[in-house]
A and B are shown apart, each in its own frame.
Chain A
Amino acid sequence: MHGRVKVRTTEEERERKKKEQVLKMRAYRAAMTRIQKKRSLSELDDEMLGLTVQILLRNPDINTLWNIRRECVLRKIAELEKTIKENETRDIQKVEEHSEGDKKTDDEKEVDKKEVLAQQLQSIYKTELELTEQCLMVNPKSYNSWHHRCWTLEQNPEADWQREVQLCNKYLKYDERNFHTWDYRRYVSEKASVPPEQELDFCTDKIKVNFSNYSSWHHRSLLLPTLYPNEQQDRPMSEHKLKEELEMVLTAAFTDPNDSSAWFYQRWLLGSGRQSEQSATVAAFRCWPYKAQLSLKSSYPELSQLTVQLVSEQQTLQLQPWKAVNSEKTQWQCEQVIEIEPSRDYFLDVAGQRKQLAVNPNDQSLYYFVPPHATSSCSKELLAELQTQLQSCLDLLEYEPDSKWTLLTSALLMRAIDVNSYHEQSLSHLAKLVQVDALRQGYYKDLSARWTMEMALAKWPTSSNYPQLFEMPTEMSMTPYAHYLIVADKISS
């Protein structure tokens, strides 16, 4: 037909694609064969670099090729450095040989030469950086490319870290959720000593664009404690900032309650700021004439490494060795003859922490006990914010009584405000959650058991049966905080 546009049929197109595929395959095979041959001959030269580029640009995830490149680069650098050294030795010789008059011009030449060599060195690094940049365009989540980039920068003492931060800005504009880029950003912004304030602003911008971003929330959580430190260390950051953060994250959660990233960040905010405790904190201790038992708040790898002493005015007794009683390594036992004189005042000393011990009237054993999770106090301002948030949640529950995240959050808020007065209500939320979110009922039941047990343990020291008898609050299939109960003679259910 004249004057009509003819377009390839799908059949023809497929055949073309197939031919293209074959061509590409041949090219790949040829290059790989050549690379392997060259490497076996240890020809780590420019040609080798050229060959790997061609393949890496198509598939940046062949780690072997990146390794070969590193070998090439190291060799090139070594050769350059050798030249520099040779020049220097020659330089010294020349100085010795030449008279004062000639020295100046030689110096100038020498400086030029040095500069040229330094430039050559930089251009080696630059080539590698450019290649990884191109590869990351092909696959922004290529572990190998990111790794090679880090490696190259580490090799270069004059690396331009500021430029790397800019690169992160650019990449995060394309994809604000690429965790590779966020990881890399943390790495380079530390090297470039970017002020944390600036990083925080950057995070905030990204959250504004799209708050479904675990990476960005995480980055915040790393920056805030250093930027706004909390003096008592019972909150992740200063109360003033915490208030702002809570407001922001709850807004996100209300905008889209199905997005879990915001809720997880909120849980972190509402949690106690203490990071995993390095030292062993004593939760409970009991000591009879023939053995001692020690319970820690959190697990400790090997208690025998610490100095545990029973101290009285008259003597100091080393307790040793300790054996873990449970698999969590929170409860320990030491079988040793211990002389106890009930009329004396005894102290327990664990790596410098000193606790006064009391005497059990029943069997004259010594004991120490502190309930888990003493409520952290908060300022009026923060309390008001928490209360506003709780009210918002409760308002929302009127509209959406079955909203799972709202139920859980309001329970957490209640406990952050006042564990005691909200105890029953927060448990009722968990009970409701078991119904509306049955897939996670085990989790809610477990949480409920913990809270119940925490409450019972907190009340225990004021009860008349303390410390002989502990009454289990409800029937529980598993007992959280069981290791706190070494102090009790009897546990009734």
Chain B
Amino acid sequence: MSDDLPEEFDLIVIGTGFVESCVAAAASRIGKNVLHIDANDYYGDVWSSFSLEAFIKLLEQPSNSLRNGSYTWHKSTEQEEQPVTSWTRESLLEKSRRFSLDLSPRVAYCAGSLVQLLIQSNICRYAEFRSLDHVCMLYNEELVSVPCSRSDVFNTKTLTMVEKRLLMKFLTACNDYGEDKCNEDSLAFRGRTFLEYLQAQRVTEKIANCVMQAIAMCDANTSFETGMQRTQRFLGSLGRYGNTPFLFPMYGCGELPQCFCRLCAVYGGIYCLKRSVDDINWTDSELLVSSAGKTLRAKHLVCAPSQLPATLATHFGESEPRISRGLFITSKPLGNEELNKGGGGVNLLRLLAANGEREACLIQLSHYSGACPEGLYILHLTTPAISADPAADLADFAAQLFETHASQILLSAYFTIAAPAAEGIANADTPILCTAGPAYEQDYDAAIENARQIFSQLYANEEFLPRAPDPEEIVVDGEDPSALNEHSLPDDLRAQLQDLEQAAQHMDIAD
């Protein structure tokens, strides 16, 4: 294969997953010469989103990082008097491209690390989000919305007046935690569990559930400090965008790696998909990447574990099941009408099983997320893998969802996302920096931290993704940078100035 790809780079990044794309963008941003390649014909690797057809094909072809795939089509058992639209396998596949099915779905805290990074780097101009409609919890087997904001607490019918006051008081205390005035009260709880603290606040059982399940996202063993920190993270993200503290990327999480790739490309990064790597060798000063009959040279190399050539994969440890995933397409949203106003909510639910020792995260997407056609809903179920059987790992959680709540599942699919156990990045035997695969987490904290670490290892004193200027701030070569460019003025003001200057020509004007 002949192409006119240059052969020498500052950095070659293999794999276009979230972490790799972050590193590629950061390097390109500070002027490094970057080549970003991926063996797949799509962006995002295991962080990508797929059309329905492509998703099914993916499940049929197990890979190193995505395995144990299975799917089942369900016959609509609905015996309703007036089936509005009855969906079939065929009618779903017809709309295949209207789906955006995530392998690694996440929600982002409105003030969390992802949002901060997107704003700080100005990459947010490429991204679009939907504010989550509800954060839910299961209470007495019923799906209820957790009141997040002040107006939620005011409007909710599930809490009594006194409960409302207690919840607000508790949340205010958490919010002020760390400021001097509250230290006295909380000092006693240092080193104890968050649950103990919660109980000492004399809140009712329902409120304790709200806080533990949905707000602090704790279990019985979570320490007081961690619980406080998580509660603060939740509260700190309120009131920024929408009614809940969470955002979901429009058209699926697969959009995010592409936003970073775009910045990388804007700063001169070169992209090449469907380009696998056969082998990687190295000398003291550079790395040699053999790909499609060509040898590419780079000072540094960052690689996704899933795309390492077989010869090197062993250096980074065997790939193991990390995350067990369930994906369901249904024609009926979870929960009541209140939770699904206007044709379905984009909702979040944290589930617990095995006496609270295991947890799973459920994200319900309606067509408002841009990830599926109207009238259909995607349910993403995610839990840390404990076996190589994702369906078994998720059985307890799925039961909580589907046994007590009527649903109309049309397609259920399970798969495992695998990555080498080592969370580390470098291997002493090789100069290759390997990224960590997706971990089970809310938001992208671990992934961003991973990218940051790799970047600082490569370019110790450089800033990680500083703000990229807007087009109008950029000075064209040879232009006087302080000149007032007429075109930089707003259109109406420009027209106004012209008008007035004409009118003023014959007048005496004192400056």
Contact = CB atoms under 8 A, between A and B. Distances in A.
B4 interface: no
Contact of B165 (A9, A211, A255): A255
Contact of A7 (B150, B154, B469, B504): B469
Given A24-B493, A27-B500, A254 B164 contact: yes
B151 A208 contact: yes
A33 B503 CA distance: 11
Contact of A23 (B169, B469, B497): B497
Contact of A8 (B155, B267, B475): B475
A23 B484 contact: yes
Interface in A27-82: 27, 29-31, 33-34, 37, 51, 54, 57
Nearest to B153: A255
B484 A16 contact: yes
Interface in B130-177: 150-151, 153-155, 160-162, 164-166, 168-169
B499 interface: yes
A85 interface: no
A210 interface: yes
A34 B469 CA distance: 41
Contacts of B511: 22, 25-26, 29
Given A8-B473, A209-B151, A255-B154, A29 B164 contact: no
B428 interface: no
Contact of A254 (B165, B496, B501): B165
Most buried by A among B268, B481, B508: B481
Nearest to A11: B482
B489 to A, nearest CB: 7
Nearest to B29: A5
Given A5-B469, A16-B484, A250 B161 contact: yes
A395 interface: yes
B161 A254 contact: yes
A110 interface: no
A46 to B, nearest CB: 13
Interface in A1-28: 3-9, 11-12, 15-16, 19-20, 22-27
A257 interface: yes
A205 to B, nearest CB: 11
B507 interface: yes
Contacts of B477: 6
B492 interface: yes
A5 B267 contact: yes
A392 B161 contact: yes
A54 B499 contact: yes
B31 interface: yes
Contact of B154 (A11, A251, A395): A251
B354 interface: no
A209 B499 CA distance: 45
B500 A54 contact: yes
A30 B504 contact: yes
B161 A251 contact: yes
A16 B500 contact: no
Contacts of A224: none
Interface residues of A, number: 44
Interface string A183-227: 000000000000000000000000011110000000000000000
Interface string B465-492: 0000100011101000111100011001
Contacts of B161: 250-251, 254, 392
B507 A5 contact: no
A222 to B, nearest CB: 22
B200 interface: no
Contact of A29 (B31, B202, B509): B509
A88 interface: no
Most buried by A among B150, B488, B501: B150
Contacts of B492: 57
Interface string A356-395: 0000000000000000000000000000000000001001
Contacts of B166: 399
A6 B511 CA distance: 34
A54 B497 CA distance: 9
A27 B482 contact: no
Contacts of B188: none
A31 B154 CA distance: 52
A33 B165 contact: no
B150 A255 contact: yes
Most buried by A among B154, B155, B160, B268: B154
A6 B509 contact: no
Most buried by A among B31, B473, B484, B488: B484
A252 interface: yes
Nearest to B268: A3
A447 interface: no
Interface string B43-84: 000000000000000000000000000000000000000000
A30 B501 contact: yes
Nearest to A207: B154
A54 B501 CA distance: 13
A26 B481 contact: no
A404 to B, nearest CB: 14
Contact of B31 (A4, A19, A54, A210): A4
A27 B469 contact: no
Most buried by B among A11, A51, A255, A395: A255
B481 A9 contact: yes
A24 B497 CA distance: 8
A7 B496 CA distance: 28
A396 interface: yes
B460 interface: no
B484 A20 contact: yes
B6 to A, nearest CB: 13
Given A9-B481, A30-B501, A208-B155, A254 B162 contact: yes
Interface string B18-37: 00000000000001000000
Contacts of A16: 482-484, 488
A24 B202 CA distance: 62
A400 interface: yes
A7 B168 contact: no
A244 B419 CA distance: 58
A7 B484 contact: no
B187 interface: no
Nearest to A212: B150
A371 to B, nearest CB: 35
A153 B504 CA distance: 34
Contact of B202 (A19, A31, A34, A399): A399
A12 B481 contact: yes
A8 B481 contact: yes
A211 B154 CA distance: 8
A256 interface: yes
Given A33-B507, A396-B165, A27 B496 contact: yes
A20 B486 CA distance: 9
Nearest to B470: A7
Contacts of A15: 482
Nearest to A50: B499
Interface in B232-286: 267-268
B399 interface: no
Contacts of A33: 504, 507-509
A34 B503 contact: yes
Nearest to B165: A254
Nearest to B163: A254
B435 to A, nearest CB: 27
Given A27-B501, A33-B509, A208-B155, A257 B474 contact: no
5 shortest A-B CB distances, which residue pairs? Answer: A30-B504, A19-B484, A15-B482, A254-B165, A12-B482
13 contacts: A3-B268, A22-B511, A26-B500, A26-B504, A27-B496, A27-B501, A27-B504, A30-B500, A254-B162, A254-B168, A255-B165, A396-B165, A400-B169
Given A15-B482, A29-B510, A254-B168, 20 more contacts: A8-B473, A8-B481, A9-B481, A12-B482, A16-B482, A20-B484, A25-B511, A29-B509, A31-B500, A31-B503, A33-B508, A54-B499, A210-B151, A250-B161, A251-B161, A254-B164, A255-B150, A392-B162, A399-B162, A399-B202
